[in-house]
Amino acid sequence: MSPKLLEVDSIEVFYGEFQALFGVSLSVDKGELVALLGANGAGKTTTLRTISGILRPRRGRIIWRGKDITDTPAYKRVEMGISHVPEGRGIFPKLTVYENLRVAAYTKRAKEKFSESLEMVYNLFPRLRERRNQLAGTLSGGEQQMLAIGRALIQRPELLMMDEPSLGLAPKLAREVIFLAKKLRDEYGITVLLVEQNVRLSLKVADRAYILETGRIVMEGTPEELEKNPKVREAYLGI
């Protein structure tokens, strides 16, 4: 059996003395769209940050294509194909839209295909093409989210991690962004790990989902399984 694309193996992560994750394990197979769901403060962002290498786990491992990358610095993981669209978008406000996209092609992996990727991103988000010479800090929230996702696509990821991309967007846009995750998987073959609080919509697009509560995975399953679960129905779907 070939190894999973990504395996998170019982990670414990601390902020100083405060423990945010208590042995979180999850896995993502190539081509899957996996959702990581949970309420405020559950540890979703912490999990993504540990996968991308911004945070180091005190215990546990991150395995990428069967290789232990727990000690690999974040910038090298991008070269390996792991892209992370951070919470709050993290665009560079004083760079232009184009420069934001250009800087995303800093890795060898991305640089070679930059013009091709740029065309793809501009076609996916025509707004970005129109505003390419505008400072990114002057974009609207939705446009900034497009830029953040566009930047990740420029990186030519194998695994795209998105941290609450729908946050702060109007319902229609929020829906579009979550369905975009599915489109990227279906049309571009990118494996997606989607962090969301919008459980209802996320379960519409995901193949599998994990539910995180105060630093622990409490449930895992297909959308059908989770939607049937009375606890999920009550706590996350409000039924």
Partner 1 sequence: MVAAVDLLASTVDGILIGSIYALVGVGLALIWGVMEIINFAHGDYMMLGALTAYFLYLAGIDPLVGAVAAFVVVYALGVLTQRAVINRILDAPLLTQIAVTFAILLIIRYGVEAAFGPYTRRIASWYANVYYHVGPLTIPLPKLIAFIVSLLVAAGLYIFLFKTDTGIALRATSQNRVVAELMGINVKRMYDLAFGIGVGIAGLAGAILALFYPIFPEMGAFFALIAFIVVVLGGFGSVFGAYLGGILIGVIESVSALFVNPALKDVVAFIIFLLIILVKPTGLFGRGE
Per CB under 8 A, residues contacting partner 1 are 52-54, 73-76, 78-79, 83-84, 86, 90-95, 99-100, 102-107, 110-111, 151, 155
Contact call for residue 45 and Mg ion (CB under 5 A):
yes
Asked if 34 interacts with ligand ATP (CB under 6 A), we say no
3-class secondary structure per residue, 155-179? CCCCEEEEECCCCCCCHHHHHHHHH
Measure the CA–CA gap between 153 and 16, rounded to whole angstroms.
Answer: 33
Angle at alpha carbon of residue 14, lines to 12 and 18, rounded to 5°:
125
- Binder of residue 190, out of partner 1, Mg ion, ligand ATP, none (CB less than 5 to 8 A by kind): none
Interaction mask 159-198, ligand ATP, x per CB under 6 A = --------------------------------------x-
Closest to 32 in 3D by CA, of 49, 7, 57: 7
Residue 95 interacts with, from ligand ATP, partner 1, Mg ion, none (CB under 5-8 Å by kind): partner 1
Residue 177, burial from CB neighbour count under 10 angstroms (0-12, 13-18, 19+): buried
Residue 87 binding Mg ion, by CB under 5 A? yes
- How far apart are the two ends of the chain, measured CA to CA in Å? 40
Q: What minimum distance in Å lies between the beta carbon of 233 and partner 1?
A: 36
Least separation in angstroms between CB 222 and Mg ion? 24
Q: How far is the CB of 100 from partner 1 (least distance, A)?
A: 8
Which of ligand ATP, Mg ion, partner 1, none sits in contact with 92, Cβ below 5 to 8 A by type?
partner 1
Q: With 0-12 CB in 10 A as exposed, 13-18 as middle and 19+ as buried, what is 173?
A: middle
CA distance linking residue 137 with residue 13, whole number of Å: 32
Question: What is the β-pairing status of strands 18-28 and 6-15?
Answer: antiparallel
Would you tell me which residues interact with ligand ATP (CB under 6 A)?
Answer: 15, 18, 20, 38, 40-46, 87, 197
Would you tell me which residues interact with Mg ion (CB under 5 A)?
Answer: 45, 87
